[in-house]
Amino acid sequence: MRYADGPGTQCEVFVQAPVERVWALVADIGLPARLSPELQRVAWLDGADGPALGARFEGHNARPNMRDWRTVSEVVELAEHRAFAWAVMDADGRFGDPVSEVAGSLARWRFDLIPEDGGTRLRQSVVIGPGRSGVILAIEARPEAEEKIVDFRLGELRTGMTATLEGVKSLAEAES
């Protein structure tokens, strides 16, 4: 798969807890920073104190062999107890020109919650691009390896999503 195709991936888990409990966890932007191997910390911006359509938050990320970087995300979909989605922008120009518009996002993330058998089917997904990211830098250095680079990055993202989903599952079920 090529970067220009808008590659993505998803993971899901069944959580033996009501949708309302799972929602409270996934709507907390600080939770993934406690569970993800890449996202280190987050904070709401512009006076926001929780998820709302158009609300923005910054994320600080780290990966081995890369300098840490900051992103700014904007909530692009919010349906209580059903869906929470945000677009991630390179506001500081870490990977090219600074981006503040959703159309130039380097990734779009979302959680979907589906009531199922007294619990919740929780799905996390991501689509990378179209904006510049570290993936683009790697592709520019080795264009002949684009598909391998994209596949490798999607694998890293699946690893992070699995850790996040298993953490949510553990926390939600512990509260039962």
Q: Where are the domains of the chain?
A: 3-174
Give dist(CA 67, CA 109) in Å, integer.
22
Give dist(CA 127, CA 74) in Å, integer.
15
User: What's residue 69's pLDDT?
Assistant: 86
Give dist(CA 60, CA 79) in Å, integer.
26
Range 86-93 contact pairs with CB under 8 angstroms and sequence separation of 24 or more: 86/57, 86/110, 88/59, 89/131, 90/131, 90/132, 90/133, 91/58
**Residue 168 corresponds to which tokens in the numbers above?**
């949510």
Low-confidence ranges of the chain (pLDDT < 70): 176
Please check whether residue 73 is in contact with residue 60, taking contact to mean a CB–CB distance below 8 angstroms. no
User: What's residue 132's pLDDT?
Assistant: 94
User: What's residue 176's pLDDT?
Assistant: 63
Residue whose pair of structure tokens reads 């409270």 in the numeric block: 24
User: What's residue 65's pLDDT?
Assistant: 79
Enter the CATH code of domain 3-174: 3.30.530.20
